[in-house]
Amino acid sequence: MKFYSPKRDNKSVGERSQAIILARLSEVGYAVLVPFGENHRYDLVFEDADGNFYRIQCKTGCISQGCIDFNTSSNYYHHPRKGEKTDYRRRDYRGQIDYFAVYSPDTRKVYLVPIEHVPVTEGRLRLEPTKNGKEKNIRWAQDYEL
């Protein structure tokens, strides 16, 4: 019997990350809800011990220069009007989610990051000290680990 390697396209990578994030949230004791349909900007909702609900956008992080990088906005196709150029645009998640849940295949860990802790285009969680010794305004990955 021949086994084929798993898909590596963006959708399947994202689905694997979402499954791992859901399992980790459940493992630490949160009730997790999965929205029905595709018309949501969030992937999951979790309920805390006080009965508060929080919307999560799941992301897959990749390591670069001692940090876990992840997108904090999405690309969408802009349908041009007559005479306009076709292009892609970015849309952030402000007002539509409460947290980014980031799975890093490299560290095999999940990080829960409040949306207000990251810029609107890319988030970075530092794993290693900076080369210049800078400490101010650094988001350490360990502080967000779930």
Asked if residue 79 has pLDDT above 80, the reply is: no
- The confidence score (pLDDT) of residue 78 equals 62
pLDDT of 46 higher than 80: yes
Whole-number pLDDT of residue 11: 80
Q: How far apart are CA 9 and CA 13, in angstroms?
A: 6
Average pLDDT over the chain reads 88
pTM score, two decimals? 0.84
- Of 132 and 46, the structure prediction assigns the larger pLDDT to 46
32 vs 87 pLDDT, higher one: 32
Whole-angstrom distance, CA of residue 91 vs CA of residue 77: 11
Which residues lie across from 111 on neighbouring strands?
102, 145
* Separation in Å, CA 142 to CA 40, 46, 78: 29, 21, 38
